[in-house]
Amino acid sequence: RHRQAGYRIVTVSLKPPGGIPGDISADQMDGIARLAERWSEGEIRATYQQNLVLPHVPAAALPAVWRSLKALGLDHANVGLGTDIIACPGMDYCVLANARSIPVAQRISERLAARGDEETIGRLAIRISGCINACAHHHVADIGILGVDRKGEERYQLLLGGRADDAAAIARITGPGFDEDGIVRAVETAIDTWLAERHADEEFSETFARIGLSPFKEALYAPA
């Protein structure tokens, strides 16, 4: 909500399903700049969630802004949902990384989008860090992923139950790490376990705080 009556804050998602988190083309950025000049007092802000914000948009201009974003291919209404994944550059661009982050984020995003129930599921924070420096803050996500090196192989630890609000909590490691295929399946398993256990409209962190780690571990590491 905007403090000034008649204005709105518009968040522009840079997370198309299967896309690189936070990526934007030069043409799209030029288009956003034109939108900001016309509708947001010339101001654009980049967020740590790897999205953009137009902070001063007149409420009456929202339909026109949405049409312009759609024309730019930036009309993804997934801010705060499962496909709004925060991921560090990982091994593709960072010399400190133990594992790749971007391809994992893309695969998880594609898988969650294909389910078709993202809006029904509601808010869900997924974050992926390629090393212990934790640039994506995976340890305070509902579902956090940490890339590790195990004898020269890329592996991924799964962490659950983190949050960075007034009830802050550090996510807990579920158990042994997964390979790339396994971590994609594990994220979906964690989501399905939450949906099976949640009460009404509980968010992930609320369900996790109530039932603990055990039901998730049982689902994740059950014998095939």
In CATH, what class is 86-220? alpha beta
Smallest CA-to-CA distance from 175 within 183, 167, 164 is with 183
Which amino acid is it at 119?
A: E
Fold agreement (7-71, 86-220): no
- Helix H or strand E encompassing 149: strand 143-150
Q: Residue ranges of the chain with pLDDT lower than 70?
A: none
Q: What is the pLDDT of residue 4?
A: 86
- In angstroms, the CA 127 to CA 81 distance is 12
**What tens digit of pLDDT does each residue of 65-80 get?**
999 999 999 999 999 9
Sequence spans of domains, the chain: 7-71, 86-220
DSSP state of 20: P
Q: What is the pLDDT of residues 86-103, one digit of tens each?
A: 999 999 999 999 999 999
What is the dotted CATH code of the domain comprising 7-71? 3.30.70.3340
The pLDDT score that the predictor gives to residue 124 is: 97
